[in-house]
Homo-oligomer: A and B are copies of this chain.
Amino acid sequence: MRASAYPLIDADEAAGLVLDHTATLGVEQVRLAECYGRVLADDLVASSPLPAFPSSAVDGYALHAADAGKTLGVLGESAAGRPYLGRLEPGTAARILTGGVVPEGADVVVMIEDVRVDAGRVTVPPGLKAGTNFHKIGDDMGAGDRVLVAGMQLGPAEIGLAAAIGHAELGVRRRPRVALMSTGDELVEVGRPPGPGQIPDSNRWALLAALREAGAEVEVLGIAPDEPEPLRRLVENALGRADVLVTSGGVSVGTHDLVKPLLESLGTVHVGRVKLKPGKPFTFATLNAPGKVAFGLPGFPVSSLVTFEVFVRPALRKMQGFAQLHRPTLPVRLGYDAKPTVERTEYQRVTLHREGAELVAETTGSQSSSRLMSLAGAHALIRVPAGDQGIKAGSVVEAMILTLP
């Protein structure tokens, strides 16, 4: 047993190294049904105006505004998808339904509630204003308009827009394929009774969820073999398919830790220890296969999820081409004294609640790296700089928002 050979790196420097070594993945065409949550690869530009035709916003009558106050003959109907085909001359009207094409010649639609109909003729009110109650060609967008921007995540409105301009599929960034492995002689499958000194492999399931939230496709390798050669074969095989290896456990300095030697043999370890609490043993390596990277997360449950948030999630988002790599931040008032850690940046877990217009952050209790209760139901992470200052209750700081209360 020896002290670690890796230098302790500043947390921000480590995060920078990770992103510097992370490349955006390629583009794939995906049908609209599968686009939700994906990231648009290229700007989307409208090739023609929308609406493509003047379209009624209401049910009523299309006519000439100059015929205000008159009683007009009704020549036909323009329903949605069933246009009135003739030209509408002055002194005439056509029934029109919401979404129907405003007939050529007409310059106003009068709502059904505002007319009187009698024996096939319609009496319209005085004082009509041309252009009312219908959408003109190009009202919603013009030909050549950039309607969606590369790097946007596709939600309902964005997908609807793409569909409205005729795209049945979209170019999106490929999802990162991640091989997920737990290491540790103490681990047993969740659901089996742990023997003396054993614990359930809970990190696998927490990290699987975190990886999915971050947009990854995950292959679960399970609990790693405890001998170097079988472990190496398993990982090399998985990396034939995966872009990223994520391990939990096995990165501290004990004799039975196999992950760092494995990563050293497969590529280059750029980060081996970080001035971070929780998560000091966090490890990051590039692999010999171009573009492939590995994250060795600490085994303690909170350490693995916090280092995931700080290092892995932004990298997975960069791979997917997200314009925004990091969690949003909001100013929050601390409801507790945030004690610092000497020489380590600390991410403390908090709940948020509203007091008037402010968000107030309260600690989730003991911040022990094994205590997942400190992260369950947490709304945000508070970054406490290394040193001896801490942050006093009542101070306003920027919180990394996980979920709003």
Chain B residues closer than 8 Å to A300, beta-carbon distance: 57, 98
Q: How far is the CB of A178 from chain B (nearest CB, A)?
A: 14
A199 at interface by CB-CB < 8 Å: yes
- Interchain CB contact (< 8 A) of A197 among B59, B100, B191, B330: B100
- A197 to B94 alpha-carbon distance, docked (Å): 15
Residues of A273-300 whose CB lies within 8 A of B = 299-300
User: Is A328 at the interface (CB under 8 A from chain B)?
Assistant: yes
Copies in the complex: 2
Q: Are A160 and B372 in contact (CB under 8 A)?
A: yes
A83 touches B196 (CB 8 A): yes
Contact of A20 with B by CB under 8 A: no
A376 at the interface (CB under 8 A from B): yes
**A118 on the B face (CB < 8 A):** no
Considering only residues 19-38 of chain A, those with a C-beta below 8 Å from chain B are 32-33, 35-36
Within 8 A of B (CB), among A214-263: 220, 249, 252-256
> Which of chain B's residues have a CB closer than 8 A to the CB of A378?
157
Q: With a CB–CB cut-off of 8 A, which chain B residues contact A199?
A: 51-52, 99, 164
Q: Min CB distance, A20 to chain B, in Å?
A: 25
Give the distance in Å from the alpha carbon of A140 to the alpha carbon of B83 in the complex: 69
What residues on B are CB-neighbors of A58 within 8 Å?
A: 252
Q: Return chain B residues, CB-CB under 8 Å to A404.
A: 328, 330, 401, 404
CA distance A404 to B403 in the complex (A): 10
- A174 interface residue (CB < 8 Å to B): no
Q: Bound state CA distance, A82 and B161, in angstroms?
A: 58
Contact indicator A373/B141 (Cβ below 8 Å)? yes
Looking at the assembled complex, report how far the CB atom of A77 sits from the nearest CB atom of chain B, in whole angstroms. Answer: 8
**Contact assessment for A205 and B163 in the assembled complex, using a CB-CB cutoff below 8 Å:** yes
Q: Which residues of B contact A405 (CB under 8 A)?
A: 328
Q: Which of A147-155, A314-322, A338-346 contacts B (4 or more CB under 8 A)?
A: A147-155
- Return the CB mask of A185-206 against B: 1 if under 8 Å, else 0: 1110111011011111111111
Counting from the closest, the 5 A-B pairs by CB-CB distance are A160-B206, A168-B191, A81-B186, A81-B185, A163-B202
Binding site for B on A (CB under 8 A): 1-3, 32-33, 35-36, 51-53, 55, 57-59, 78-83, 95, 97-101, 112-113, 117, 135, 139-141, 147-149, 152, 154-169, 184-187, 189-191, 193-194, 196-210, 212-213, 220, 249, 252-256, 299-301, 305, 308, 328, 330-331, 357, 359, 366, 368-373, 375-378, 396, 401, 403-405
